[in-house]
Amino acid sequence: MNLVVNGDAESGPGGTAEPVGAVTGWRVLQGAPALVAYSYGSGYPTASDPGPAQRGSRFFSGGNAPRTALVQDIALPATGATGHAAVDAGQVRYAVGAWLGGYASQEDGARLSVEFRDAKGTPVALSVLGPVTAAERKGRTGLVERRAAAAVPPGARTARVLLVLTRTGGGTSNDGYADGITLTLTGVQGVQK
């Protein structure tokens, strides 16, 4: 099960390139994101551009701010195969994934990080995806999948998911794009002696 709420930009207001004041499931730390429809056109990614095969109708864009940042703080399950006891025994793995991209040959981009924290809020591990460069997109407008997986560090109790969309060149549009953001946990059987 995906622990990220609205990682596909489908919920809440949006559909055009106009910035929105709030994004369902996310807290806007900086800037003003846009939830752009793949059908919007005007140079933004379309359903025929590189991106998720099973994409919804919208994706995240940086709006018009030089830097837009959105965050979610996720409590890890307390019980079960991915609960605190299993985490502390080294028996839980995480997988983080996202489709990240930008516009044509511009270097505007998106970066997704997951920071695991202990009960006091102290960071204990960090995983970072992106940004995807224009060369990695072959100079095309679109999104490229990035993934990472590892063991959840013992003592972790929360995960902070941070999406940062950055404009690096001129113009007014922040063409950092993201879609399909996921964070999943999997219980791993302990070694029997």
Q: What are the Cα distances from residue 74, in Å, to 34, 36, 121, 159, 163?
A: 23, 25, 12, 5, 14
Instruction: Tell me the average pLDDT of the chain.
Output: 95
Q: What is the pLDDT of residues 84-142, one digit of tens each?
A: 999 999 999 999 999 999 999 999 999 999 999 999 999 999 999 999 999 999 999 99
Q: What is the pLDDT of residues 136-159, one digit of tens each?
A: 999 999 999 999 999 999 999 999
Q: Model's pTM, two decimal places?
A: 0.95
Between 3.40.50.720, 1.10.10.1100, 2.50.20.10, 2.60.120.260, what CATH number should domain 27-187 receive? 2.60.120.260
